[in-house]
Amino acid sequence: MVVAAGSGSRLGAGLPKAFVPLAGVPLLGHALRGVLSCATVVQVVLVVPDTHREQAAAVADGVCRELGSVTPVTVVPGGVERGDSVAAGLRALGDEVDIVLVHDAARCLTPVAVFDRVVAAVAAGAVAVVPGTAVVDTIKQVDADGFVVGTPERSALRAVQTPQGFRRDVLERAHAVSSEATDDAGLVERLGERVLVVEGDPRALKVTTPSDLEAAARLLATS
């Protein structure tokens, strides 16, 4: 599923982030190119703002035509928080699906190889898989007053991305408890299930701010 129902307040473009153009194509279009190029994907659930369902369907139609894809795309309205949107997407999955990928439309340039690595690891037996990259900055944990309370060993840290992949039953069980977390793997961790990290990719960056959009434009121009 592709979650694209956010407002994009930090980008501040005056329209939902997934519909903001990057080199003339909405971020959602770029994201769908990646998803629909992944050979193992059998259904795409597209979670969008209620106001943008038709526009989303038109973007999806365009990408399907461009790629010659016949993969069904189901468009559903999202919720207030990201977790609510994922929960809405889960309810729209077909019966035949047993591996679910949750992908942020905002990570619109994620290479197909990342999708393939995540799917392969779930298919090989992991219940939850996230792409991650080593962090370059030293990360500090701080208290409410801004004082450092700890410095985690950097070599043990990963910045995680999407698509995150799950055995469907495990993700549904996690969302049945709560949908509140910054990522879906966090919910699965609370169940006590093990989450595997596979290699992510810098091109899977999340477009959050105007400077991220510029970075994405540069990546697109040089790839």
Contact residues toward ligand CTP (CB under 6 A) are 3-10, 17-18, 47, 78-82, 85, 104-106, 206, 208
* Residue 219: both structure tokens together: 């990546």
Nearer to ligand CTP among residue 38 and residue 47 (C-beta): 47
Place of tokens 């059998």: 42
What is the Cα–Cα distance from 100 to 18, expressed in whole angstroms? 21
3 binds, among Mg ion, ligand CTP, none (CB under 5 to 8 A by kind): ligand CTP
Name the minimum Å distance from CB 21 to ligand CTP.
15
What is the Cα–Cα distance from 146 to 140, expressed in whole angstroms? 10
What is the Cα–Cα distance from 57 to 43, expressed in whole angstroms? 14
Name the minimum Å distance from CB 6 to Mg ion.
5
Name the minimum Å distance from CB 13 to ligand CTP.
10
Q: Which helix (H) or strand (E) holds 30?
A: helix 27-36
80 binds, among Mg ion, ligand CTP, none (CB under 5 to 8 A by kind): ligand CTP
Instruction: Using CB under 5 A, count the residues that bind Mg ion.
Output: 1
Is there a contact between 52 and 130 (Cβ–Cβ < 8 Å)?
A: no
Name the minimum Å distance from CB 80 to ligand CTP.
6
CA distances from 156 to 133, 135, 136 (A): 11, 9, 12
Nearer to ligand CTP among residue 51 and residue 151 (C-beta): 51
Residue ranges in contact with Mg ion by CB under 5 A: 6
